Amino acid sequence: MIRLEDVTRRYGDATAVDSLSLEVAEGEVCVLIGPSGCGKTTTLRMINRLIEPTSGRILVDGRDILSMPAEELRRGLGYVIQSIGLFPHLDVAANICVVPRLLGWEKARMAKRVDELLALVGLDPASYRDKYPRQLSGGEAQRVGVARALAADPPVLLMDEPFGAVDPLNRERLQSEFARIQRELRKTVIFVTHDIDEAIRLADKIAIMRDGKLQQFDTPEEVLNHPANKFVHDFVGSDRALKRLVRVRVADVMRSPATVLADANTLSLREAAGRRRFAYVVQPDGRLLGWLDTHGLAEGAPAADAMTIMDVAEASVRPDDSLRDALSRMLGLGFRAIAVTDRHGVLLGEVTFAAVEEAMTEGDEHISNQPVEDAE
């Protein structure tokens, strides 16, 4: 889909990008990463033809971009820049429709597209479409920036540190949302960051650069397990086992736990828990209520005495969460296992500490990019 052949860009005597070759397949996310000044933005700007290579070729869909009218090229490329770049005097809807307006879309079509995109990026259309950029938080503005890049449905997205200016918590949220949107839309994406965790989380392929030169171009698993050189090794950092957990989703390792119904009597509770000491207590519709310690079950005493009601939102994870999310939740709560629920609180399974440990040491057997649907 996108192919760089020996692309070099010089500024005077300095070389910003040095003989860079890489290929990004359709529907893949390629993350360009490296320290500040290593040539990431220059690379994106060459693909978008904001600047031209000193030498080398760039092909999009097999066509040399220098042979295409710049307009046509850019229509196929959605561009998200770090500083967001929303127009302050335009409301959210008008900001999103910059490209559709240039393309001469009709009003009704633009209005429909705005609402669609706001919903997609997790902003309520009714409350956001008329706001102005100054009324948005950093995370909200960033979402609008992504919506704007998607407006005319370009097959390719170029994103330059799109979440760079957002605080860590919102950043993780935006990353999960981006991953969800990408599973749905399957764009071809070149995503620039200097954050290795972000790269490992979002990339199908990672291109690590230093001083304009490509150091390694590989899957996140390969980069973690077999760094090409010392620079990559040091750049990835020391907690590689933990980083691996970001690539494994809860859905891939969860198992069915013992469950009992909330209104069961002591005898059937014991039976249902079987040989396990702990069992989850669910309501008849499957929603999780709490858990039960069978050691606390006493003859004659109400079963409720042995139950702990839990704050399900706090004490469970979703199938799409990463094992690192699951681990940090377990550590925070002091549990050896964590429940997996859908968005209605229905119990789907559990992830044990042992499963996390196994994934940490095992490496790449559980890796999955397949979408998991919430059970309705």
Ligand X SMILES: Nc1ncnc2c1ncn2[C@@H]1O[C@H](COP(=O)(O)OP(=O)(O)O)[C@@H](O)[C@H]1O
d(CA 259, CA 373): 22
Tokens of 330: 């377990």
Using rule CB under 6 A, residue 41 touches ligand X: yes
d(CA 55, CA 18): 10
Looking at 33, 38, 202, 254, which residue binds ligand X (CB under 6 A)?
A: 38
Encoded one letter per residue, x for contact with Mg ion by CB under 5 A and - for no contact, window 4-43 reads: ------------------------------------xx--
Per CB under 6 A, the segment of 30-38, 182-190, 238-246, 289-297 that binds ligand X is 30-38
- What's the min distance (Å) between Cβ of 163 and ligand X? 15
Tokens of 12: 């005077």
Looking at 6, 37, 83, 302, which residue binds ligand X (CB under 6 A)?
A: 37
Interacting partner of 87 out of Mg ion, ligand X, none (Cβ under 5 to 8 A depending on kind)? none
Using rule CB under 6 A, residue 4 touches ligand X: no
Residue listed under structure tokens 């978008």: 48
CA distances from 280 to 91, 249, 291, 292 (A): 48, 22, 4, 6
CA distances from 256 to 221, 273, 320, 337 (A): 28, 12, 16, 12
Residue 292 contacts residue 278 (beta carbons within 8 Å): yes
Tokens of 163: 């979440």
d(CA 279, CA 270): 9
- What's the min distance (Å) between Cβ of 164 and Mg ion? 9
Looking at 30, 33, 42, 321, which residue binds ligand X (CB under 6 A)?
A: 42
* Residue 375 DSSP label: P
Burial environment of residue 331 by CB neighbours within 10 A (0 to 12, 13 to 18, 19 or more)? exposed
Looking at 6, 11, 137, 336, which residue binds ligand X (CB under 6 A)?
A: 11
- Within residues 40-59, the interface with Mg ion by CB under 5 A covers 40-41
- What's the min distance (Å) between Cβ of 6 and ligand X? 17
Looking at 7, 22, 33, 40, which residue binds ligand X (CB under 6 A)?
A: 40
Interacting partner of 11 out of ligand X, Mg ion, none (Cβ under 5 to 8 A depending on kind)? ligand X
Instruction: Give me the residues that bind Mg ion (CB under 5 A), please.
Output: 40-41
Instruction: Give me the residues that bind ligand X (CB under 6 A), please.
Output: 11, 16, 36-42
